[in-house]
Structures are given as C-alpha cells and as structure tokens.
Structure 1
Amino acid sequence: MRNFAFGLAVLALASSANAQQAQPAPVVAPISAEQQRNVERLRNAALESDLAWDIVEGLVTDVGPRLAASEAEARAREWSAAMLRRQGFSNVRIEPFTMPFWDAVREEASIVSPSRQPMVIAALGGSAPTPEGGLEAEVIRFESLAALEAATSAQVQGRIVFIDERMTRTQDGSGYGPAVAKRGGCASRAQARGAAACIIRSVGTDTQRVAHQGGSVRQMPLGTSLPVAALSPADADVLGRLAQGGAVRVNLNIQVEVRDEAPSGNVIAEIRGRERPEEIVLLAAHLDSWDLGQGAVDDGAGVAIITAAAKLIRDLPRRPRRTIRILLAGAEENGVFGGREYGRVHGSETHVVAAESDFGAGRIYSVSTLFNEDALQYARAIQRQLAPLGVNLGNNTTGGGADVDAIRRTGAAIVDLNQDGSLYFDVHHTPNDTLDAIDPEALRQNVAAWAVFAYLVADSDWVLTPPAPPAE
C-alpha cells in the first residue's frame, strides 16, 4: 500500500509539472530590427553622456532654489526654455497661469522651559503667521495623527500640538505616505480642538539637525488658520524626551508673505512625431522647488533626466512616429498647480502614455505600468530592453506622479520607472538637497532607461489603454 501511495504521489507531481510546463510563456511584443538598433544606440549613448549632469548643474548654479510663483521660478522658466531651444526641441513655449503665493520670511522656535534651547524648524507651506514676536505655549505630544484625532478639545486647547511620528526607510518610498499624513492633517485637527499651533517631526529618514519643508493644508474656516512647522529630527528627539518627562513650553515665531495671485507657468517642448504627431508620449518633471536647498534632487534631477533622454531620441537618424512632449511643470510642491493646469489646457489631446520623474536620481530597478491586460505584452517588451540596465518588471497598478495625475484621469496609460529611494528622504526638502547628493553614474542609468522607454512607445503603434475602472 505504501508503494502504491508513493506511486500516486509521483504521478501527481509529474502531472503538476507537466501542467506548469504546458502553460504558455507570457507574450512579449516584438520590435523591429531598426528599433533594436536604436535601443542599443540610445542605451550606450546615455551611459556615456553627461548631458543630464550638465543640465541639473546649470539649473542649480544659474538659478538655484525655485519657490513656486517666485521671481526665482520665473527665472527658471526662462532658463529652461532657452536650454530646450539650444538642445534643438521644437514648439518650446511657456504656458503661464496664476496661483496664490506663500513664503516664510521668519521661522524660529525655541524651548523656553524647563531649559532654554533653540530648535531648527521649517514653516510648512501655507502656514499662517504667529503674532508679531511669536507665541509661547505649553506643548502636548502625540505619537501619531490618529492619537491627535482621538484627543479632546480640553486636552489640546491653547497648547502647541507636537506630532512625534517617525518615518520608515524603504526602497520604494512607501514609508512616505503614512508619514506625510501628519504634515497635511496636523493643522486642521489641532485647530478644530483649539490648539495655538502645530509642529511635527520632519517627514524624513535622516537624523540630522535639518528640517524638512513641505506643503501643508491652509485651514481657513472663518478666515483663520494655524501656524504649522516641521522640526528637525534631532530637535524632535530632544522635545519628545522633555515632553514625556513633564511640562514643556515652546516659543514659535513664524512670519509669512502671501499674495492671492502670482505668476507661475509650465515649460513645454516637443519632438514632433513623423507619422502620428497628434499622439503624445508625455515625459514630466517639476521645475519648482522648496528654498532651503538647491532643488537638485527634487526635482532638478527629474528635469535633467527627461530632457537628456529626449535629446538622445531627437538625435537619432529619424524622429519617432509619435510626438514626445516634455512638461516641466510649475508649482508642484505647494499644490500641483502646474499639473492641474496642464490637464485643463491639454486634457482633450491624445496622450498615449504619461510618465513622471520626481523621485531623485537613484538607480531605476523596476518598471511599473497601468495598462489594460491586452497591453501587458508591451510592458514586457519595454522591460526586456531595460534588463541590461538592471531593471525588472514591476506591478501593473502604478498611479503615476502628481503632475501627470490629471492626464491619467483622462484615460492615458501610465508608466513608472521606479528609482531606489532608500536615501531620498534623507535630503528631501532640506538644505542638503544639493548637487552633491546626485550620483552621476546613477543619473546616466536613469537617462538610459527613460530614453529606451520613451523611444519604444513613441516609435510604435502600441495601443496602451489603461485598465477599465471597476464596476460600481
């Protein structure tokens, strides 16, 4: 009986193995011999080129930080348009729009009791000012935004709320979403409970004494709002220990400049398609930055990557079939104004696919998509040509970046070239967002991947429809 059972088990395993072997291999869309030659040419040229480095170096040197709707952002638009014309792109133009302007002109904080200690802060975008000279109040510490939401008005009234929640370091940046919730939600929850102000542990993965900037949500019921700031990780450690040991008082002084309407704009350039110019492959990055650092990693690197990749395609013996459009979006950091404006103006046009580079310059390790099931053969074809660069196939559920979201909502397919973000949030929105944070070799690998992806889609007749929305 034991031998009979063993025989049945062997037959079952063999049958299972045969069934697995019988399954057809996933379909990979073919590419032509000419396309293969051009892919190899692009890949090799990108890995030898320093054009992306030259672009980001020029941007941070000639312009520097580029706060949305500021004079510096205006200089960046002019600088970028001139640079794109020099690179030989067509239809280079600036598409202006207006938006609210906000800037912090003073951002100071200090512990006043039980001992006097200065702290490093960054006022969050949209923060209301404190009274002239600042405000002083007792601190109440919460471990998370959820803990603040569970608090009563009696606990919070008149105090400075401190959310002391840490961010998890991950390769794909997935720790950012949970951590950033406190940045957008602290002011509203604290204000609803009568707080005097709100400070948060910076949304970042470093332990240095630098604060991370970022946008908050302007809370303006009845014409009022709350001062809100991010505290450096090192100072957050001190304040957290003191708050757990007893009463702590803090002085916070934030003064801001605001204007209801100020000029911003998007910069656009194209490689016009030779056969289907009305079909657009959209490559996006954002031109603005916060102003503590140089805006090199966020998002000067993205500006340089997509521009250098498109330039390599432009230099091929003939243009691709479809139009490649570069979008350098304005005013992403404090409200995605440029991306939304691009969607308003261009949403009725035919966007075959949209992709955004806005995660620094770490090496690309996978390509993710938002394609219909029938189009996955094209995702596999893209990945096969990216494999020599160390790029694997990711999921088919990606959402794309902020500045292409409006185009995604019109029905465009999405591609994400996923970068290693293990170190990104050490410098994100800090004074350390400088040129030296970019690895030139990784930057070249990014350009190679973007050039191959964009060329394959632009020179094909692939139909890249996104998945149908779920039935309601």
Structure 2
Amino acid sequence: MKTLRLALVASVASLALVLPSIALAQTAAPKPPTPGEVTAAKAVAEARDAALADDTVAWDIVEGLTTEVGQRMAGTEAEARARAWAKARLDSLDFKSVRIEPYNMQTWVRGAETAEIVSPFPQKMAITALGRSGATPPEGITAPIAYFPTYADLAAAPAGSLKGKIAFISHNMQPTQDGSGYGFAGPARWTAPALAASKGAIATVIKSVGTDLHRNPHTGNTGWADGQTATAAGALSRPDAENLERMLARGKPVTMKLVLTPRWLGETQSGNVIAEVPGTDPRAGAIVIACHLDSWDLGTGAIDDASGCAIITAAAKRIMAAGGTRHPIRLLWAGAEEVGVFGGAAYGKAHGGEAHVLAMESDFGADRVWRVNFNLADEALKTRVAQALAPLGITRGTGEAHGGADVGAIIEAQQTAVVDLSQDGTHYFDLHHTSDDTLDKIDPADLRQNVAAWVAALMVLGNAPELAPAVAPHGE
C-alpha cells in the first residue's frame, strides 16, 4: 500500500509539472502589434499628452459661456442668447455645418420664494422652488408640518392623512464617487411632492437633494401624475432642513408659512446646437458626443453643464485639427435637458434615421475622469481604449455604460454602442442645481485631464473598424 501511495504522489507531481506547459502550449502567444497599430497608438498618446498640457479651448468655452451668458434656463431669452453664443463660438473654431435646430416647449419660471417657521420657534429658512412646482397664493399659505424622515415613510402614510398640511420629506444622502447617492435620495424630489399631494398635502418641502452643508437650496425638476393639479413644492437648504428636523424632535407642532409663486409662460422656443467634424469615411456612421447647453437659474451653470460642452468641444477641435478620424464626429449641445430632456428627444426624432455607431456624453461636472465603462461587444477595442486612458489614471470599470440623458433617445432607437468616461462625483452634489454652480469651482488641471481623456478615447474609437452602424447611412 505504501508503494502504491508513493507511486500516486509521484504521478500527481509529474502531472503538476506537465499541465502548465500543456496550458501554455494551447494558449496562443499574444499577437504582436503591426507597424500601423504602433503608429496609431503613438499618435493617440501624443494627442492625449498635448491636451493634458493645454486647456485654451476648454477654458475659453466654460469661462465665456458663464461670463457672457450666465444662467441659461430652458425656453427663456437667456437660453436663446446661449444658442446664438454657442453657434458663433463653434463657427469661430472652424467646425462644419454648425446650425441651430429649434423646437417648442412649455416653459416654467420661478417667482417669489420664502419660507419661515411661524411657531413654535419663529425664523426664516432658505428655500427654492422645484421645477414644475405649483404656486401658493401671492400671500402664501400657513399650515402645520407633517414630517417624513424617508420617502418610504411618506409612501406608508394613509390616504387623506395629509389634508391641510405641508409635507416635509427628508433623506440621508451621502457623497459617493460614482454618484449613486443621487439615485437613493432623488425620489424625495422626483415624485414625493406628487405623492404627498395625492394624500391631501397642500404643499411639500423637501431636504435638498445634495451633499453640502451650505445654506444653498438645490433645485431640480419634480413630476406630477397625468391630470394631477400641481401644488407648491420647494427644497430647503440642508442646514435649514436639519434645523427643522431638530425642531420637530422637540415634540411640539411646527407651523410654516410658505410663499412660492412660479408660473408657466406657455409655449416658447428652445433648440439644439449641432456641429460636425467630417470623417475620412462619410459612410462609416457617426459618433455623437453630447453635453447640454441649458442650466438651472440659481448659478451660472459652470459644472452643469458648461464644462461638459467645453470638454467635448475642445477634444473634437484637437481631433479635427489633426485631420479627423474615420468616423464623422457630431457635437450635440442639447437644449432643455434640465426640465425634461427635450433636446435629446428632439435630436432622436430629427436624426433617428441617420447612421450612428457610438454615443457619449459629458454631464457630471469637471472633476477628474477616474473610470471607463463600455457597452460594446468587441473586447480588443475596449482594451485599446483602456490602454490609451491608463496613463491618465483611468481604470476600466466592470459595469455597463449607459450614456447620458441627451443621447438616450438615439441609443434606444438604434441600440448604439456607448462608452462612459466617468468623472469623480464625490463633490458634484455639493454644487448641483445650486447658486454655488459657478466658474470658480472648476479646476483647470482637472478640466485638462477630462479633455485628454476624451481625445484619447475618441481617437481610438473614431478610427475603429469594429464600429459599424446599426442603421444604414442615407442613400443606401
């Protein structure tokens, strides 16, 4: 038996030595790059590194748009001035076929905005109306607060239990690098006012969906059910919301006076601004790169989303100056994103019959790109993109890319490939939709890193033979 055991051990040991060599023999050696691939990789690296050292175009765009136009509320005269500004700037940068594609929309604007605790601890609070909010009478309303620490608590409230009350909905949003805290807290803004109104509330206030502790309330759209009458809905700054929570914890009824007088202007015009970088193969299918031109009206829309327009445009300008890529690149500066993604929908309707191979968007501020995710099939192409981005400190993610709001319609219509260059969102929701969204929050070095990332990715993707249009180009 001992002899048999020794023989078995020897056989296993021999097999352990042999198996790795068999596996290596069966695994093909990596294919060395061709001279053309080496040349292409070198060109990408040179363009990426040049962008990392120069932010002239990107900074000029974000500085100019926030200085010369400022806030750009969708459907207003300010957004119209922004479209004219954008067309002139894109023309001056020698982009091709620069044009404005208008569409009409219903336009909401804010009015007076005040909130104060009447009893038992009288004091004023910082508040702003949520987009699409209904209005109080000009003199305001005064009513007791019904407090819900979470959205789930509001959902559990019995029908009719909020009659004659102002609902107050809180949350505990935390900063995250990937911005996932927004998905957790967002329902407090997106649907809580409609839910509270359905249970009898005469108005709703929420803790701002944000992560800062400044006395700056965060605005943003809310929604209403079809046929539902909109009630007044506002966001308190986080410090004021937390102060209100402490008042309520004392166990006494709390009464608030609220004045919110937004109004609808009726149908007005918005529009998208489009520009082109011609491809060396016009039939190869276009890459659409997007940002949104409009902003909320509290700040000057620097991080949301003048920086995105600056990033994609500076990258496209460098690629155009270098002779372009095989695939045409189309810039979409979308209008009216903040209030309902009307620009993205209009683009999908107008261009859904044209061939697109890829969609990308920059709409998450201007902090450094830290991750790349893909929704495309070819592994070799994903590897080439990731390798071009790695020197910038960008890692390859394990999730699927989804694109941004303004390219959503074209992605859905054509099942277009998507690449996401994810910016660090740790501090994004300190500024998002607030009066603090101003130029001084943008770090020029981070802006350069964004442009360099877009240059590298677009040079690889723009010349990729693996990308083919799902929709045939016009004329076929």
1:10 offset after TM fit, Å?
Answer: 7.3
With the length of structure 2 as denominator, give the TM-score of the two structures: 0.91
User: What is the identity, as a one-letter code, of the residue corresponding to 2:230?
Assistant: S
1:423 aligns with 2:427: yes
For residues 131-170 of structure 1, the C-alpha deviation after alignment (integer angstroms, 9 at most, x for no partner) is 1211111111112111101101343221111111021211
Kept in 2, the 8 Å contact 1:371–1:396? The answer is: no
Q: Which amino acid aligns with 2:136?
A: T
Say yes or no: does 1:348 pair with 2:362. Answer: no
Cα distance change, pair 147–94 in 1 and its aligned pair in 2 (3 A): same
**1:129 aligns to what?**
135
Q: Match of 1:104, as an amino acid?
A: R
Contact 1:26 1:377 in 2 (8 A): no
Q: CA deviation at 1:180?
A: 0.7
Give the 3 Å change call, closer, same or farther, for CA 101–11 of structure 1 in structure 2: farther
- Equivalent residue of 1:327, what SS? strand
Q: Which residue of 1 aligns with 2:271?
A: 265
Shift of residue 6 of structure 1? Answer: 8.7
Residue 248 of structure 2: aligned partner:
243
Question: Could you tell me how far 1:462 is from its partner in structure 2?
Answer: 1.9
Spell out the pairing of 1:4-403 with structure 2 (5 A cutoff).
32-50=37-55, 51-219=57-225, 221=227, 224-245=229-250, 246-277=252-283, 279-316=285-322, 318-372=323-377, 375-403=378-406
The residue type paired with residue 391 of structure 1 is: I
Size of the aligned set, in residue pairs, is 461
**CA offset at residue 106 of structure 1?**
1.1
CA distance in 2 between partners of 1:442 and 1:347 (Å)? 34
Determine helix, strand or coil for the equivalent of 1:293. coil
CA RMSD of aligned residues (A): 2.4
Cross-structure match for 2:474: none
Task: Determine the C-alpha separation between the residues in 2 that align with 1:26 and 1:419.
Answer: 32
In structure 2, relative to structure 1, the CA distance for the partners of 1:11 and 1:453 (3 Å cut) is: same
With over 3 angstroms needed to count, the CA separation of the structure-2 counterparts of 1:422 and 1:14, relative to structure 1, is farther
Q: CA deviation at 1:12?
A: 9.2
Please tell me whether residue 452 in structure 1 is matched to residue 456 in structure 2. yes
**Per-residue deviation at 1:33?**
3.9
- CA–CA distance in structure 1, aligned partners of residues 263 and 21 of structure 2: 71
Shift of residue 27, structure 1, vs aligned partner: 9.0
**1:307-329 Cα deviation digits (max 9, x unpaired):** 0000000111x222211100000
- Residue deviations 1:63-104, cap 9 Å, x none? 001001111110110001000011010000000001110011
Match of 2:110, SS state, is strand
Contact 1:187–1:219, Cα closer than 8 Å, also in 2:
no
Query: What amino acid maps onto 1:310 in structure 2?
Result: A
Structure 1 residue ranges without an equivalent (≥5): 467-472
2:441 aligns with 437
CA distance in 2, matches of 1:346, 1:453: 24
SS at match of 1:267: strand
TM-score, normalised by the number of residues in structure 1: 0.92
Measured after TM superposition, the shift of residue 417 of structure 1 is: 0.2
Residue 48 of structure 1 and its aligned partner are, at CA, apart by 1.7
Q: Partners of 2:212 and 2:61 in 1: how far apart?
A: 27
What do residues 360-403 of structure 1 show as CA deviations (whole Å, max 9, x unaligned)? 0111111101112xx12211111111111111111351211111
User: Which has the larger Rg?
Assistant: 2
In the alignment, residue 295 of structure 1 is paired with which amino acid?
G
How far off is 1:463 after superposition? Answer: 2.4
Question: Cα distance 1:67–1:14, how it changes in 2: closer, same or farther (>3 A)?
Answer: farther
- Match of 2:162, as an amino acid? V
Contact 2:281 2:326 in 1 (8 A): yes
- What is the percentage of aligned positions where both structures have the same residue? 44
In structure 2, runs of 5+ residues without a counterpart are 471-476
Give the letter aligned to residue 363 of structure 1.
R
**Partner AA of 2:408 in structure 1:** D
Partner Cα separation in structure 2 for residue 184 and residue 443 of structure 1: 30
> Take 1:178 and 1:300, find their aligned partners in 2: how far apart are those partners?
26
User: Which of 404, 407, 410 is the equivalent residue of 1:407?
Assistant: 410
Partner residue of 1:470? Answer: none
One-letter identity of the residue aligned with 2:407:
V
Instruction: Measure the CA separation in 2 of the matches of 1:385 and 1:216.
Output: 40
